[in-house]
Amino acid sequence: MKSSNNLQGKVAFVQGGSRGIGAAIVKRLASDGAAVAFTYVSSEAQSQLLVDEVISQGGQAIAIKADSTEPEAIRRAIRETKAHFGRLDIVVNNAGTLIWDSIENLTLEDWERTINTNVRSVFVASQEAALHMNDGGRIINIGSTNAERIPFVGGAIYGMSKSALVGLAKGLARDLGPRAITVNNIQPGPVDTDMNPDNGDSSEPIKAMGALGRFGKAEEIASFVAFIAGPEAGYITGASLMIDGGFSA
């Protein structure tokens, strides 16, 4: 595993790291020198393969089963990360759910699940992290370009949940600024994953909406996260940073 060593000696916790963008973030942070703990809900075998891959290339990683809709599970996972690796420097909140339907069809249960996963889990993880994180740490939320633009019918509650992270990051940046802990949102556009493949049924109209005319790669999102987690990004906080190929332009 080729390492830039920018994060050597750091410990990262990735909430929702077993697949897609989350797995790419785990691998990139590990390749940059961080020891990484990440959570999963049901994909135990896939998570172990990711751990094995990181370790085989000289990195450190552990997988922790924790449902992001359960606040105590999130808190326990962060405490376990600190206990295992001895410190905590970086938290990446990547867990999320996508419920996309017209307002006439959405239920209160849809709303609650979206808020609990996309917003409450970020608050709980950030609150617990603040109790254990070293000064100078990083909290990074994976938001969405849909906080800025909803181009299709059905995105009301998803867009609302990602917009909530914008205000949360600003407030937490103020709260934690005296400790030099930065809090930022990364807002990806369409990204090629198994849940949203670039050859899917709606991929061509989506590509046409972006200035670059393509889906992003999970590794591109991960590289941006690694930069924000690193020492050169210490003056960036309270920001919502777009990486969407011009989708919102």
CA neighbor of 218 nearest in space, from 246, 184, 193, 244:
193
CA distance linking residue 3 with residue 149, whole number of Å: 36
- The answer to whether residue 235 is catalytic is no
> Assign residue 106 a region: left if phi > 0, alpha if psi is -120 to 50, beta otherwise?
beta
CA distance linking residue 78 with residue 73, whole number of Å: 9
Q: Do 171 and 183 contact (CB within 8 A), yes or no?
A: no
CA distance linking residue 176 with residue 171, whole number of Å: 9
Element (H, E) at 223: helix 218-229
Contact residues for 207 (Cβ-Cβ < 8 A; gap 6+): 190, 198, 213, 214, 215
Q: Do 43 and 70 contact (CB within 8 A), yes or no?
A: no
Given 13, 38, 40, 158, the catalytic residue:
158
Please list the active-site residues: 158
